[in-house]
Amino acid sequence: MKLKKLTALFLSVLMLLSVLPAALAEDATPQHGGMLTVLAMESNSMFPALSSTTSNRFNFSPAVEALGRRNAETGDTEPWLAESFTVDADALTLTIKLREGIKFSDGSDFNADAVIWNFDKLVEYGKASEICSPESYEKTDDYTVVLHYTAWNNTWVDILGECYIYCPAAFEANGEEWATLHAVGTGVSSRYFSINATASGSSLTRPR
């Protein structure tokens, strides 16, 4: 009896393995539309300037990208939305050159005006420390931003590299409350998925 059960189990496994490659191939076919449900930590805002916990970044960062990224091997901050970071220790300035040709998922341009707008929001919401509390900042052309400081700090690049850039046009068109639930940025996730439903303590849904 045991032998018969083992034989039946063995044959069942073989049958499953025989159809698995075909099933995987079918599932691998690109599909347009559908729903992506993300298991994530609790989030209180998809708008970086209103974020009160670092866990929010795990939720909005697939869509909202930062000026820089940390190199996993070296630990150094490298440009991402920025093309370069240039520190002048004597002049106490940090110059950020931005990449050209990037757009937000709503089609609006990523440029110096968008970065300045995000800096303004951080200052407005009491988070100037997230850009190292500059004395002032300005755009010198459409893709260059310069921050002026009163004292030297060797973490300027690391901290500014963690500055996430939200889409100004989306915020202005829909308002602050809407922005807390909708992550709109330059990321691939933002271009292909939009967050339209969140359930506190339960789920976050991205329709494609």
Quote the pLDDT of residue 53. 73
DSSP-derived letter for residue 108 is P
Quote the pLDDT of residue 33. 62
Nearest CA-CA partner of 134 in 111, 142, 143, 120: 120
Q: Is 175 buried (19+), middle (13-18) or exposed (0-12) by CB count in 10 A?
A: exposed
60: which 2 tokens? 């909005």
> Per-residue pLDDT tens for 134-144?
999 999 999 99
- Cα(26)–Cα(23) distance, rounded to whole angstroms? 5
Residue 130, number of CB atoms within 10 A of its CB: 20
In tens digits, the chain (208 residues) has pLDDT values of 555 555 555 545 445 445 455 555 555 666 666 666 655 555 668 899 998 777 677 788 889 999 999 999 999 999 999 999 999 999 999 999 999 999 999 999 999 999 999 999 999 999 999 999 999 999 999 999 999 999 999 999 999 999 999 999 999 999 999 999 999 999 865 444 555 545 455 445 444 5
Distances (CA, A) of 70 to 103, 118, 159, 167: 22, 21, 11, 22
Q: Are 127 and 49 in contact (CB under 8 A)?
A: yes
Quote the pLDDT of residue 122. 97
End-to-end CA distance of the chain: 52
Distances (CA, A) of 120 to 18, 47, 95, 145, 165: 59, 13, 17, 13, 12
Quote the pLDDT of residue 60. 82
Query: What residues contact residue 58 under an 8 Å CB cut-off, 6+ apart?
Result: 40, 41
Which pTM was predicted? 0.75
